[in-house]
Structure 1
Amino acid sequence: MSDIRFDNQVAIITGAGQGLGRTHALGLASRGAKVIVNDMNADNAQAVSKEIEDAGGLAIANSANVAEIDQVQAMVQSAMDAWGRVDILVNNAGILRDKSFAKMDMADFELVVKVHLLGSALCAKAVWDIMRDQGYGRIVMTTSSSGMYGNFGQANYGAAKCGVTGLMNTLCLEGERSGIKVNTLSPTAFTQMTDGLLPQEMLDLMTPESVTAGLLTLCDKDAPNRTILCAGAGAYARTVIHETDGVYLKPEDQTPEAIRAQMDSISDLNGMEMLTNGWGQTGKFVKKAADNLGIDLPKG
């Protein structure tokens, strides 16, 4: 198996001034990528850029706010002005404003969603035409177990992180024919955002470098498409959204009481499948109804 390299490729990593973003930037640069190191803390962005340059790589520090379209467009333009292309976008920037939902200020809810979800969309939009025109691109979103499974006190963060998977699910379809692949990383690592939340023995295992190894896989030319890769403490897994086969109820039985009575059958995991677009569910439901009613549907 050949080494994964990014020679002559240009990567933009948001929130790259520390933590996972920093190790992502260093990892990509160490394998040949030219890197835009984005972080609102300009000093941190500059420090990581210097690390890359001191190691013989090429980097440009950038302090754009990913939630502001004008700043995002200027960041992307700086990559184009310097190197003429953008091959990789890693949407890593994020913030926390943790509180129980009862105590949460909705301004904090909006801010977290704006940075994580809208910021990811704005950055993807800013590079989309570039990647489409050059016939190649790799975009990696960053989700979280809090978004996929929930976590007390993180309604804002969980909603935003679940949202980026929905963004991936559509962009991977729209970009595939243009050579753009879109995937999502779900990291668990010891960073400033997790400091003080877990015992030190656990934190010692949760290195950012182990997560970055997964990130680099999703940035590769042979990357998958539409994959949620979970990475942490040297362990790697994939999250897949499945839908049960379900049941069909005759028109006279289509009542809330009948649905409740059938909930065990509706929840039966036998025959469940992974759907790859919204029409997959529609087609399944219509076919189930037609089969039960003896209706012949048009082919195709």
Structure 2
Amino acid sequence: MSNNPGGLNGSIWSKNGSSRLNNRYYAPARPSSQPSIPSQPQPIPQPRQPLLPQQYQPPQQSQLPVPSQISLPPPQPALAPPTSSIASTRLRPAQAFNRFEQACQRLRWKFIDLQTSYHRALNAIDFGFTVAEAEKNFKVDFYEFYAWIEQALVLLLLVFGITIPRGPGHGGRAHAYHYQVIVALEAPTCPVYEALGTGEANQALRKAKELRNKWKDMSEGKDTPPLKMYDLNWLVGQILGGLEVGYAIAARAVEEEALRGQGEDMDEQMAMGADGEWDWMVEPMDWEGV
């Protein structure tokens, strides 16, 4: 998460992000530091601007007298997005798309928080924390951020009628659910396969899931490589880029369905999709032990 400016203007991640993207064609750029996977991608809708996560430079702050000698336990993950079973199969494509759009807006908000958290973690002493405390707190933040990534993916798949069944219980079954979300994207028949099921966006998703599993419970005290060993800017940038391309594909699919007359008027469907506006995001969810 460097300080180089990104190309977010006009994308769904920008300050004035559009809720609909033009149906152009876009291939995410490959960072020079990462190898590519040979593939033959099909043309996919292009965002208005090439997508890279905008680098946020935290404002200069006066040093507050934080007693660094006091070691506090890392926080438990805060309220995560609701379980995917809440985004039920009863959602129409336009409703699922509306929730997907809301999840993307939430991701944009949390992305800024993640950047500032990463900055604090890499400069722990300046903010009055030990390195260990700062890294543990950032890893909890990343765990929460990945939960929103996964919720956005599940809703994106629901736009196309693809559901990920979730069995009861925790442990292995729950881990299998998180794995199956990515597997569904990797099916060549998946409408957003080229956006998120292959190439570097898919590599980044798999790596993010791996880190999510490693960092989900800081109380275990397991040693992990320091944060500087991870290219988190590339990781998050590829995922957000893939989500934006998937957003364009989903927007076009919902609009085409409305034009074919296979549903109610588009505006009416989107109004129905609002169903309680953002209430679905704060419904209770049991992510503990997942």
Tell me the TM-score normalized by structure 1.
Answer: 0.26
Higher strand share: 1
Query: Which entry has the higher C-alpha Rg, 1 or 2?
Result: 1
